Amino acid sequence: MNLDLLPVDCFAHILSLTSSIDACRISLVSSTIRVLANSDNVWEKFLPSDYQEILPRLLYPLGYSSKKELFLRLCNPHLIDGGNKTFSLEKSSGKKCYVLSARELHITWAENPLVWTWKSFPASRFFEVAELRTIWWLEIQGKINSRMLSPRIVYEAYLIVKFVDHAYGLDLLPSEVIVEVGNVKLEGTICLRLYESKKQCLETIWFSNQNEVVRSMAFRGKEERVPCKREDGWIEIELGNFYNHGVDVEVKMCLKEVTGTHLKGGLVVEGIELRPKQL
């Protein structure tokens, strides 16, 4: 079948049912197909339905000459909402991705300068991060309305952090990680330290303080996770995942370690990232 003979509207509709990657591939077939595949009618279908509401929220105006260019530019993170979040699109699917900055989170005692320090950080995408000086009650919470996310897909939530050289007390007990959507709650535990393997994580907990390990038995039965290093140099801690049905509901995310009475310090918090789960 000669695709060049298809009516323009029909061809554009067919392409809109595929993906941005497919549209780029098929544009190589012929010059006629390329014009159709690059049309605004096709690429507007790959943009979020509320993209016109998102654009005014960008901290810096975004120039573009076509919907394809707009899509591709939005695949790079952009600061929004006064610089307290970033927004981007996943290139392969066009699904929304967000990073909530530390200022968007509820961090217990964050405004006490003896406990947390707010500072600029050269490696951060935001204007400032929160660095833990010393505390025994560690609790970091974030939330977002599910309507801000792409519907009918599974999202993953990650806490983005760094550990300074003099970090202490963070791995004596596992921290709890929780994602809650409506009446559904997913819980797990995490070792707040970058390890070569989960085995090394467990061995460190045991040999560091056997008394504390006995107390950590309360976390038995919860899924255990290990921090991972990201390509941007930060470390991500998986908080959990959830299916977004697209209804109006609040998504709550949390990391906490409040059972131990020992002091902790040296944790740098950049924010929480929400991105589509890679299946």
| pLDDT confidence tier of residue 8, bands split at 50, 70 and 90 | low
Q: Quick check: 225 pLDDT over 80?
A: no
Mean per-residue pLDDT of the chain:
86
Tell me the mean pLDDT in the region 17-30. 69
pLDDT of amino acid 223? 61
Whether 270 and 77 have beta carbons less than 8 Å apart is answered as no
pLDDT of amino acid 197? 46
Round to whole Å and give the CA distance between 197 and 204: 11
Q: Quick check: 198 pLDDT over 50?
A: no
Round to whole Å and give the CA distance between 86 and 79: 4
Q: Rounded to two decimals, what is the model's pTM?
A: 0.86
Please indicate whether residue 23 or residue 243 has the higher confidence score (pLDDT): 243
Q: Quick check: 158 pLDDT over 80?
A: yes
DSSP secondary structure, 171-218, as one string: SSSPEEEEEEETTEEEEEEE-SS--S-HHHHHHHHHHH-HHHHHHGGG
Tokens of 261: 């009475």
| pLDDT confidence tier of residue 5, bands split at 50, 70 and 90 | low
| pLDDT confidence tier of residue 231, bands split at 50, 70 and 90 | very high
| pLDDT confidence tier of residue 34, bands split at 50, 70 and 90 | confident
Percent of the chain with pLDDT over 90: 67
pLDDT of amino acid 4? 58
Tell me the mean pLDDT in the region 130-155. 97
| pLDDT confidence tier of residue 157, bands split at 50, 70 and 90 | very high
Please indicate whether residue 193 or residue 200 has the higher confidence score (pLDDT): 193
- The span from the first CA to the last CA of the chain, in angstroms, equals 33
Q: Quick check: 241 pLDDT over 70?
A: yes
